[in-house]
Structure formats: C-alpha cells, structure tokens
Structure 1
Amino acid sequence: MDFWVWWLIAAGGFGIALVLTTMPELGMLGVGALAASGVAGVTDNVVIQVIVFAVVSTALILVVRPIARRSRTQSPELSSGIDALRGRSALVLERVDATSGRIKLAGEEWSARALGDEDSYEPGSQVSVVEIDGATAVVM
C-alpha cells in the first residue's frame, strides 16, 4: 500500500478522535496528515512527509490556538435580553420615585423605580436605565 493511503488513514483517525474528545488540536493534526498525504503522492521520501506533517501541524496549533483562546475570553459585542436595555433612554409615563412609576422603554411600557431614595422624575422627562430588577427598570 502507498504511503499516501496511510496518511489518509491517519487523518481519518485524527478526525474520529477529534469528534470523540472535542480536542481541536487533533483536527489540526489531521490537517497535517492530509498535507503529508499530498506530499506522499508526489514523493516516496518518508522523511519529507514526516517533516511536512510536523511543520503543518505545529504551525496550525501555534496560529489557531491563541486565536481560539482569545475568542473564548472576549465577551460578545451584541447584547441581548435585559443586557441590551442597560444604559438606554426611556420616557417617563407616570411619576417615577423610589417605589413606583411607569416608563416607555424600547417601545414597551415598563414598571420603574428611581435609583436614589430621594429621586423622582415627572411624566415627559427622559431617564436612563441603570439595571433591570425582575420586571422593574431601575432608572436615574
């Protein structure tokens, strides 16, 4: 059997191991085995095939792993749910004080309360949403 077939079998083995263990490094080793298979189709020199396998696999691991690690630690740029409502402006519909009130936020009517105990906002004024506490917007 030719060496390129063995490299393809190795790539398949790495692919199966990748699926079973979810270790992305195994996928990169599989790509290295595919590159070595391509070289094996051109030359019968096993040393060159192993060098290509090692170089391609190592290069992928050194380049892709830091990018993947960085993308896992960064928070998503798109906020959704109540996170998207923080910092938005709202229109006061009914007087808002430390205990009750109504605002129009993102096209919907919300119950609201003021952040400070002494703060109050009259209808028609603009407020900023500090946080969402249950179904109540805390504004200032």
Structure 2
Amino acid sequence: MEWFADNGWLAWVGLALILGAIEAASVDFFFLMLAGGSLAGAVAAALGAGLAAQVVVAVAVALVLVLAVRPLVKRRFTIAPDTTIGAGAYIGRAALVTETVTTTSGLVKLAGETWTARTGAGQPAIPAGQEVRVVSIEGATAVVADAAERREGF
C-alpha cells in the first residue's frame, strides 16, 4: 500500500486507460472526457497534492470537459444525415400529375417513376397535367403541393 501512496499518479493513469478503453467501445466522447479528468488527477498526484485535492482536480477538469469540450467535439464528429440519396432526395423536386391528386389518392411522375401521391390536409385537388412540388415522402407516397402555390408562398 505504501507504493500506491508514493505513486498515486499511476492509479489515475490506470483509471484513464480503463476509461479510454470504454470510450473506444462507446464512441460517445463522454468517457474520453472522464479520462481527461483522470489524467488531471494524475498530474495533481505527481505534483504532490493530497488525495482530496487530486479528486477535486479530477472532478473539476472532467466537468469542464464534459460541459464545454464534449459538445464541440460531438458537433465536429457527428455526421449529418445524407438526404441526397433515397426518398429524402425527392423532397422539393418537381413532379407531373398523371392522375388527379386529392388528399387521399393520386399519381405523379417523379424522377421518371410513377409514385402514389396525395395533397396535404385541407388542400384542393390537383388535376392531371399540372406541375407539383414534393413536400414530403411518407412511406411510398409523395405528399405534394401545387408548384404555383409554393412559389407564391416564398
């Protein structure tokens, strides 16, 4: 036990390594911030601080890292969902009504494919031959609005 009293920094470094391994499994940047606090505790121990001071330093640094640094790191490394592929890529695109679109049914030609379509609640029916814009995709149905109305709304 006397060895740990003389080498307390080593226990802090060991804790930091364990927290680093947990971070490698979770990849949430939380345990990495705690590992940073543990390393600060190791520095305090190496400088001769008592156990209470080491704990205070470790907790304070971990809190600062979790509250200030973690959000920045998460924002930097989080990948935004890609809407350039799949159904999300159709939102905002023009389509041609091939069968009158109502709030419950209809067909449109969208990107060379025939899609089932409907208008939003309370919207008037859109006759065949009219250009529309895709507002959203709900399953295999395109929710559309009259292209002329959408231009006026902007």
Between the aligned partners of 1:130 and 1:54, the Cα distance in structure 2 is 49
Q: CA deviation at 1:37?
A: 1.8
How far, CA to CA, are the matches of 1:17 and 1:77 in structure 2? Answer: 26
Q: Distance in 2 between matches of 1:10 and 1:97?
A: 67
Which SS does the other structure have where 2:99 is aligned? coil
- State whether structure 2 residue 21 is matched by structure 1 residue 12: no
Residue 23 of structure 1: how far off its partner (Å): 8.1
State the TM-score, normalized to the length of structure 1: 0.59
Per-residue CA distance 1:83-126 (angstroms, 9 max, x = gap): 3423x23242x633135544233xx323344536742031xx42
Change (3 A) 1:110 1:137: farther
TM-score between the two structures when normalised by the length of structure 2: 0.55
Name which of 95, 119, 124 aligns with 2:126. 119
What SS does structure 2 have at the residue aligned with 1:12?
Answer: helix
Secondary structure at the aligned position of 2:128 is classed as coil
- 1:95 alignment partner, one of 92, 95, 98: 98
Q: Is the 8 A contact 2:118 2:141 kept in 1?
A: no
Matched length: 127
Instruction: Establish whether residue 52 from structure 1 lines up as the match of residue 57 from structure 2.
Output: yes
Deviations 1:10-51 (A, max 9, x none): 22343456568888654433211112223434x223254333
Aligned-partner Cα distance in 2 for 1:95–1:14: 60
Report the CA distance shift for 1:16/1:33 in structure 2 as closer, same or farther (over 3 A).
Answer: same
Distance between the aligned counterparts of 2:50 and 2:135, measured in 1?
A: 65
For the residues of structure 1 that align with 2:15 and 2:137, how far apart are their CA atoms?
54
- 2:152 is matched with none
Checking the alignment, whether the CA contact within 8 Å between 1:101 and 1:113 is kept in structure 2 is: yes
Once residues 60 and 54 of structure 2 are traced to their aligned partners in structure 1, the CA distance between those partners, rounded to angstroms, is: 10
SS of aligned partner of 1:120: coil
Alpha-carbon RMSD: 3.8
CA distance in 1, matches of 2:25, 2:107: 55
Q: Percent same amino acid at aligned positions? A: 25
